[in-house]
């Protein structure tokens, strides 16, 4: 996400990081210790430009007794207070806008922060009493087989024997004998890629799967194309999972894929489109968020003492400006150059191919409940912003018509704050794709990044309604 909800979610790390094996809840390593861990891991790699998958085992990052707060401030003192806390490494930003921010605060500073907020007259309320409990309860309890599925164990060949005769026979809302996705739990990368492969094998008339590149650690970046090959179809790009911790994004994108395939032979709108969809653009980060740190955001590029590049600050349009950090330790680190990362390069190389009639670029994030269009690099808007707003309003209405909340609509730099190097700015500003949107899915701060799995289907249904509304207008 752009790090931007409506009010402040303050995450208080009361226990910090400790080993699940040793069970030492009193140990809270300093940032320098964490950096040295990263250095030690990287020293074991070969001295070349390739980076292997994370060596482990790693201690899992825990958030026991952490809290989520909501708070806002309207004066300069509020911003200055948070900037000071951030500079002193007492907090990390989650998101926000001009007057309200999401921040993560380490437990040793909880009392001090309470006192500081009190003196500064910053009001707040505790939204989540224990963040680790929220993480532990994010996915529902399941039987052993389904647990294995979510943990990324490869399906057996038996899972691919079923061959429905028509697209409508695909089971949309339950795990069947052909794939593992349930849209009732957050699944691992193996399940997601296995689902794409299943569709390609089962429906070769309309589904083809392509690896458009590889991640820093060598994982495939898989894209599915859904098309009848008809001349004159418009081309639509969709992606998810560019930020690792935003699990609702890949879940919603795969749900949209399922709906398109399920309804393809009975819906002229779906048949009039060549769909290009990549559910997980950041496969390394996504796996790391499951294995080690649930709140990991960036990719897994080694970078000095720190790790990772924010892929949504690495695209080439107005790269390196406001809202993108030059500090490799920052969560919004932009990389050492535009398209320095193989994940963003893969998107650039594919979309830059000639003779694809791109009409829309849709990127799914969380959280905040926004539909955003360019520009993000500053508070200006494109010359055709009224048209972007008109189509966006259709999507806002469609979400409400299926029972969803009202999403805020506007240019990201104006509605929120400037952030350069975003994919939607690049899609419109460099590639000339007229309708470029970032959809920040649920919620608006009650759960934030740890949205319980029972919200997957309603959130994804809203996203699908928004996609149909946009595609029908472009």
The residues carrying an active-site annotation are: 440
Residue 222: alpha-carbon gap to chain centroid: 16
State how far the Cα of 159 lies from the Cα of 340, in Å rounded to an integer.
38
426: exposed, middle or buried (Cβ count in 10 Å: 0-12, 13-18, 19+):
buried
- 81 near 17, Cβ under 8 Å? no
User: Sheet of 358-366: strands edge to edge?
Assistant: 207-214, 220-226, 273-278, 234-239, 358-366, 435-441, 370-373, 408-411
- 372 near 416, Cβ under 8 Å? yes
140: helix, coil or strand?
Answer: coil
Residue 282 corresponds to which tokens in the numbers above? 């950041």
DSSP per-residue string spanning 289-301: HHHT-TT--S---
Phi, psi torsion values for 330, nearest 5 degrees: -80, 150
Nearest to 17 by CA among 65, 57, 61: 61
State how far the Cα of 152 lies from the Cα of 53, in Å rounded to an integer.
15
């Amino acid at each position: 996400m752009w790090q931007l909800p409506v009010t402040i979610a303050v995450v208080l790390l009361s226990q910090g990081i400790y080993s699940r094996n040793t069970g030492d809840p009193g140990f809270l390593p300093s940032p320098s210790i964490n950096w040295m861990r990263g250095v030690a891991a990287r020293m074991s790699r070969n001295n070349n430009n390739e980076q292997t998958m994370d060596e482990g085992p790693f201690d899992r990052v825990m958030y026991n007794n952490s809290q989520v707060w909501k708070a806002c401030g309207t004066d300069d003192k509020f911003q200055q207070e948070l900037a000071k806390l951030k500079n002193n490494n007492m907090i990390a930003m989650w998101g926000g806008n001009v007057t309200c921010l999401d921040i993560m605060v380490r437990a040793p500073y909880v009392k001090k922060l309470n006192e500081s907020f009190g003196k500064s007259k910053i009001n707040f309320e505790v939204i989540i009493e224990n963040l680790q409990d929220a993480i532990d309860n994010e996915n529902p309890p399941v039987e052993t087989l389904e647990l294995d599925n979510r943990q990324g164990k490869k399906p057996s060949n038996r899972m691919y024997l079923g061959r429905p005769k028509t697209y409508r026979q695909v089971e949309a809302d339950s795990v069947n004998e052909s794939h593992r996705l349930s849209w009732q739990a957050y699944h691992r990368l193996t399940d997601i890629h296995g689902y794409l492969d299943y569709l390609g094998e089962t429906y070769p008339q309309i589904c083809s799967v392509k690896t458009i590149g590889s991640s820093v650690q060598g994982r495939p970046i898989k894209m599915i194309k859904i098309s009848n090959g008809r001349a004159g179809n418009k081309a639509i790009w969709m992606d998810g999972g560019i930020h690792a911790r935003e699990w609702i994004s890949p879940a919603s994108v795969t749900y949209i894929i399922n709906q398109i395939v399920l309804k393809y032979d009975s819906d002229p709108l779906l048949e009039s489109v060549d769909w290009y969809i990549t559910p997980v653009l950041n496969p390394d980060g996504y796996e790391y968020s499951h294995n080690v740190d649930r709140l990991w955001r960036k990719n897994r590029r080694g970078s000095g003492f720190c790790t990772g590049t924010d892929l949504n600050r690495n695209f080439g349009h107005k790269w390196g400006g406001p809202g993108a950090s030059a500090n490799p330790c920052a969560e919004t680190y932009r990389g050492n150059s535009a398209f320095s990362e193989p994940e963003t390069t893969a998107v650039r190389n594919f979309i830059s191919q000639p003779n694809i009639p791109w009409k829309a670029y849709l990127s799914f994030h969380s959280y905040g409940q926004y539909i955003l269009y360019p520009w993000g690099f500053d508070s200006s808007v494109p010359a055709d912003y009224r048209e972007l707003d008109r189509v966006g309003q259709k999507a806002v209405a469609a979400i409400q018509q299926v029972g969803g909340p009202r999403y805020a609509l506007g240019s990201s730099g104006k509605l929120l704050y400037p952030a350069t190097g975003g994919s939607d700015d690049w899609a419109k500003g460099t590639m000339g794709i007229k309708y470029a949107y970032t959809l920040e899915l649920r919620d608006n701060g009650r759960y934030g990044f740890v949205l319980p799995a029972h919200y997957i289907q309603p959130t994804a249904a809203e996203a699908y309604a928004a996609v149909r509304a946009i595609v029908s207008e472009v």
